[in-house]
Amino acid sequence: MKPSKDNNSDDKLNFSEALSKEFLREMKSKRRWGIFFKTAFLALLVTIVASQFVDLKYSTDDFSGPVVGLIRINGVIGGNVGVSSDSISNSLERAFRNPRLVGLIILINSPGGTPVQSSLINQTIWRYREENPEKKIIAVIEDICASGGYYIASAAQEIYADSSSLVGSIGVRLDSFGFDEAMKKLGIERRLFIAGGKKGLLDPFSPLSDDDKQLTQELLADLHKTFIEAVMKGRKDKLQSSQIFSGLVWSGKQSLELGLIDGLGSYRTVSKKIFSSDNIIDYSEKTFGFQRAFKGFKENIFYMFDQNYRIF
């Protein structure tokens, strides 16, 4: 019987040793992962802090001699999401501080955005045009330049696009929904308290009256008029048809015939053709990978839940 007891003791000892080794292995693994995450967080923190002191948001000037500036307008135009007037203003200021700048290209790939941000960027471009008449500002369209995007492009001296680019949509829209009939069927009563007779205008849970419809249409017509005036200021006698203000979109080839653009080409061919230079400095504000991901997420949320306020 003694050997049996010894065997049991050995088994218990082996089990304890194995358990201890497994515990130590797990602790080492957790410690390694802890070190990894702490190091990654520290690297991220250092990068963010460094970006406040080092100008990482812009490209460096690696050229000698005359240079052409480039500012990109990609995505939705808006104050809280996408491209804002502040970011474009900062880029313009940086570009025109360079004494070797001979001209600027605004590279646009945007479906539009809010009327205020589009107007502010348009006005800022005009200001730099007037202050620097010897330096041309050219707009070049990539995939799409619609609504607020064209509002901005019209401030440039000349506009170029690809033959397959989508250009135009000079109009105004305001999206809304009506749930009043559905609420009636569900037996839900709407209780809306307002001070000011029209404070509840376009409330989706209340019926839309003819008066409310007329007031809304007048508001959109006023915004459309402002849009048209901005386009006319920049394009003047180049436009060939009043149909361009209908809100329709045209291809780059059609846009050239209608006077919406001045020629076909990419930003590199335009740079060589107009400025005789391919020394291009990108003055667009740069974002890090995680910032771009968060920006894209915000834009998607904006389109999903903020349709009522997407005018252009």
Three-state secondary structure call for residue 27: helix
Q: Is residue 185 part of a domain?
A: no
Q: Is residue 286 part of a domain?
A: yes
Contact 138, 217 (CB under 8 A): no
Domain with 31, as residue range(s), is: 1-54
Looking at the structure, tell me whether residues 27 and 164 fall in a common domain. no
Q: Does 258 score more than 80 pLDDT? A: yes
Q: Is residue 196 part of a domain?
A: no
Contact 139, 69 (CB under 8 A): no
Helix (H) or strand (E) holding 10: helix 2-53
Looking at the structure, tell me whether residues 14 and 149 fall in a common domain. no
Q: Is residue 225 part of a domain?
A: yes
Looking at the structure, tell me whether residues 43 and 76 fall in a common domain. no
Total number of domains constituting the chain: 2
Looking at the structure, tell me whether residues 160 and 21 fall in a common domain. no
The mean pLDDT value for 56-64 works out to 55
- If one compares 19 and 308, the residue with the highest pLDDT of the two is 19
Q: What is the pLDDT of residue 307?
A: 45
Q: At 121, is the pLDDT very low, low, confident or very high (cuts 50, 70, 90)?
A: very high
Looking up tokens 């007048």, which residue turns up? 218
Q: Is residue 202 part of a domain?
A: no
Half-sphere exposure of 285 (CA within 13 A, CB side): 17
The pTM is what? 0.74
Three-class secondary structure assignment of 66-128: CEEEEEEEECCECCCCCECHHHHHHHHHHHHCCCCEEEEEEEEEECCECHHHHHHHHHHHHHH
State the CATH number of the domain containing residue 144.
Answer: 3.90.226.10
Q: Is residue 228 part of a domain?
A: yes
The mean pLDDT value for 60-67 works out to 72
The mean pLDDT value for 229-246 works out to 92
Chain centroid to Cα 137, Å, comes to 21
Q: Does 265 score more than 70 pLDDT? A: yes
Degrees, nearest 5: CA angle 80-141-96: 70
